[in-house]
Amino acid sequence: MESRLLKKWTAEQRISAVKDMFNSISPNYDLLNRILSGRRDVAWRRFVVKRIPANAEKVLDLATGTGDLAIAIAGVLPQARVTAADFVVKMMRPAQLKTRSKGLSSRIEYVAADATRLPFQSHEFDVVTIAFGLRNIPDRLIALQEMKRVVKPGGKVITLEMTFPKNLGLRSFFKWYLNHIIPLVGGLISGNRQAYTYLPESIQDFLTPDQLSELFESSGFRSVQAFPLTFGLTYVHEGIAT
């Protein structure tokens, strides 16, 4: 698939561009998520929350951005304490405001951290989640291995990522939507067209659902499952740490 920005960047350049982009789009990020996904993003995160065991006490939400998944987790699981981490501090500012307005500040802690070098002890968490984050990390294997390191043996890692539906008609519509509508609308509202050109490229460049399942298995997870959502536009993957 065509991938212009990603073709010209090294891994280091991509990481630096990702930081710049999320620094610049944080004020409009939530609004654009709702518009561009037709609010499906809310339902997708809700599905992730349902996959978290009800007795989970310590949850880590990586690449938390504006905190929507961390907030959804803390809202549904009253006993859970959530650590929400991102390497772009500015993305977490709206997260902190939303957390305060929902009265969840005592149960969600925001931490600046790189998902590939986590500042946590081994086996600290019952569950680790990452929504729309893994595809932004060039070394996905290292990221999954870090998640496995910090989750308890028997704990769960859950990812949420967009992908391409298998149905050919939907696939070509989605490709057109990704490559034309997202850069146009995202560029107009955020003022950063590059960020919303990168977004579809990063989806097209990401692993297929089967490849991601294999990566979970080769990172040492068992009972790996993949759940297609919204005609396979999005997938939730989960695995149990051995």
Cβ at position 222, least distance to ligand SAM in Å: 25
Residues with Cβ within 8 Å of residue 114, at least 6 apart in sequence:
87
Measuring CA to CA, which residue among 92, 148, 130 is closest to residue 206?
Answer: 130
Q: Which is nearer to ligand SAM, 69 or 241 (CB)?
A: 69
63 binds ligand SAM (CB under 6 A): yes
8 Å CB contact between 190 and 28 = yes
- Distance in Å, CB of 86 to ligand SAM, minimum: 4
Segment interacting with ligand SAM (CB under 6 A) among 84-92, 102-110, 183-191, 219-227: 84-92
DSSP structural state of residue 3: -
Is residue 64 a contact residue for ligand SAM (CB under 6 A)?
A: yes
Collapsing DSSP states into helix, strand and coil, what is residue 61?
Answer: strand
Applying CB under 6 A, does 18 fall inside the site for ligand SAM?
Answer: yes
Q: Which two tokens stand for residue 17?
A: 């561009």
Which of 68, 161, 201, 238 binds ligand SAM (CB under 6 A)? It is 68
- Tell which residue, 215, 216, 208, 218, has the closest CA to residue 240: 216
The reply on whether position 115 binds ligand SAM by CB under 6 A is yes
Closest separation in Å from C-beta 113 to ligand SAM: 6
Q: Which of 227, 222, 226 is nearest to 239 (CA)?
A: 222
Q: How far is the CB of 8 from ligand SAM (least distance, A)?
A: 19
Assess 72 for contact with ligand SAM (CB under 6 A).
no
Residue 158 interacting with ligand SAM (CB under 6 A)? no
| Interaction of residue 163 with ligand SAM, rule CB under 6 A | no
Element (H, E) at 75: helix 68-76
Q: How far is the CB of 183 from ligand SAM (least distance, A)?
A: 15
* Residue 63, CB-side half-sphere exposure with 13 Å CA sphere: 23
Asked if 180 and 151 count as a contact pair (C-beta separation under 8 A), the reply is: no
Would you say 48 and 129 are in contact if contact means Cβ atoms under 8 Å apart?
Answer: yes
Interacting residue with ligand SAM among 110, 120, 125, 132 (CB under 6 A): 132
Give me the residues that bind ligand SAM (CB under 6 A), please: 18, 22, 63-65, 68-69, 86-88, 91, 114-116, 131-133, 136-137
